């Protein structure tokens, strides 16, 4: 029973990640993100962080997430002339920052309790 819940949670997390990335690309073409869209993307980020990343995957996810966040922040200055890419990086940041924070907190909590 527990394995089914874990699998279902990871499946939901994976779908949330896929939906979040698709939404980030779509909103990059639509234009400026409204506060409601930002709230949805943040919620997706929390879902991804809580459900999609297992304990074994946390280190690679944290490394990849940190690199993505750093590259997106510093890369935005280089691509300001391409508004679509700028909006896409912004939307991806809105998803990955909360996901990375959640996974980092879970990882630190796991270390502290072991």
- The tens digit of pLDDT for each residue in 13-68 reads 888 889 988 988 898 888 778 899 899 999 999 998 988 888 888 899 999 989 98
CA atoms of 81 and 43, how far apart (whole Å): 29
User: Which is higher by pLDDT, 104 or 72?
Assistant: 104
User: CA 31, CA 97: separation in Å to the nearest integer?
Assistant: 21
Count of domains forming the chain: 1
The per-residue pLDDT for range 67-93, each reduced to its tens digit, is 988 887 777 777 777 788 888 888 888
How high is the pLDDT of residue 5?
52
Which has the higher per-residue pLDDT, 88 or 6? 88
- Give the domain range for residue 8: 2-113
Model pTM? 0.82
For residues 100 and 72, give the distance between their C-alpha atoms in angstroms, rounded to a whole number. Answer: 14
């Amino acid at each position: 029973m527990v394995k089914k819940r874990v699998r279902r949670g990871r499946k939901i997390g994976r779908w949330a990640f896929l939906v979040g990335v698709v939404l980030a690309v779509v909103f990059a073409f639509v234009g400026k993100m409204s506060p409601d869209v930002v709230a949805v993307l943040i919620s997706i980020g929390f879902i991804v962080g809580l459900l999609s990343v297992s304990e074994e995957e946390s280190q690679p996810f944290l490394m990849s997430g940190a690199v993505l966040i750093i590259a997106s922040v510093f890369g935005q200055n280089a691509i300001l002339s391409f508004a679509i890419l700028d909006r896409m990086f912004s939307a991806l940041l809105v998803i990955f920052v909360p996901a990375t924070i959640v996974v980092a907190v879970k990882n630190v909590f796991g270390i502290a309790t072991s």
